[in-house]
Amino acid sequence: MDSQRWLPLEANPEVMTKFVNCLGMKPSWQFGDVFGLDPEPLSMVPRPVCAVLLLFPETENYETFKKEEQERLKSQGQEISNVYFMKQTIGNACGTIGLIHAIANNLAHLEFEAGSALRKFVNETVSMTPEEKAAFLEKDESIRVAHESSAQEGQTEAPSRDEKVNLHFVAFVNVGGHLYELDGRKSFPIVHGKTSEDTLLEDAVEVCKAFMKRDPQEVSFTIIALSKNSN
């Protein structure tokens, strides 16, 4: 049972960028929409891209796949490098956990203000287990307050904390030349093969297509990229 519930975060790049800026990440990188999966719309996304977020519907098909995937990977194993991964124990916090996964695995690219609450959180939790990171987030007031404020800034009215929300965020990052799917509701990171700084967006989109293919009747998919600010 979730010990806490937050307001769901809208899949809105402006809100997300403002959220991480409030927590002390400098605006040298920003979130932006990915408007299509074909080469032309992908070519319009500012480069480089250091993380991709996917918002998708948690359907019965997905839950069945997730269970089968977990059993398969537990039996066959996967090689996981030094990835920052945390569990989700707070209801509706998947958006913030997706942002933390995107940022914590890209510290070499991103810049932070002195005293950044976000950088402080990552520094203090980096050597913790995924479960310990989750417990630490439950007590982090600065991130909770920024999340609650951001959740009310979207273009649509935020649902209540107790309303059932079947949309979920996951993050895709490049660590050590491998594409990782990071989902706090899963037991461990998922490795999706090789990637690079140049191909991260295209490689992540291929995995997003697999999510969509599993539920072709669903339309509630949103892809957001964390890109270098070209301004």
Please tell me the distance from the alpha carbon of residue 52 to that of residue 105, in angstroms, as a whole number. Answer: 12
SS3 category, 190:
strand
What's the pTM value of the predicted model, to 2 decimals?
0.94
Please tell me the distance from the alpha carbon of residue 191 to that of residue 231, in angstroms, as a whole number. Answer: 33
Weakest mean pLDDT among 6-15, 41-50, 162-171, 174-183: 162-171
Average per-residue pLDDT in the chain? 93
Concatenate the DSSP letters of all residues of 99-122 into one string.
HHHHHHTTTTT--B-TT-HHHHHH
Q: Which of 94, 101, 147, 208 is catalytic?
A: 94
Q: Is 91 exposed, middle or buried (0-12, 13-18, 19+ CB in 10 A)?
A: middle
Q: Is residue 162 over pLDDT 90?
A: no
Q: Which domains does the chain show, CATH number per domain?
A: 4-228 (3.40.532.10)
The average pLDDT across 17-45 equals 96
Q: Which long-range contacts (CB under 8 A, 24 or more apart) does 12-20 make?
A: 12/153, 12/154, 12/155, 13/224, 15/150, 15/153, 15/154, 16/53, 16/95, 16/99, 16/150, 16/224, 18/150, 18/153, 19/96, 19/99, 19/146, 19/147, 19/149, 19/150, 20/99, 20/103, 20/118
Told to judge if 192 belongs to the known catalytic residues of this protein, a careful annotator would answer no
Told to judge if 147 belongs to the known catalytic residues of this protein, a careful annotator would answer no
Give residue 155's pLDDT band: very low, low, confident or very high (50, 70, 90). low
Please tell me the distance from the alpha carbon of residue 53 to that of residue 76, in angstroms, as a whole number. Answer: 27
Please tell me the distance from the alpha carbon of residue 77 to that of residue 56, in angstroms, as a whole number. Answer: 26
Q: What is the pLDDT of residue 230?
A: 78
Q: Which of 101, 147, 168, 178 is catalytic?
A: 168
Q: Is residue 156 over pLDDT 90?
A: no
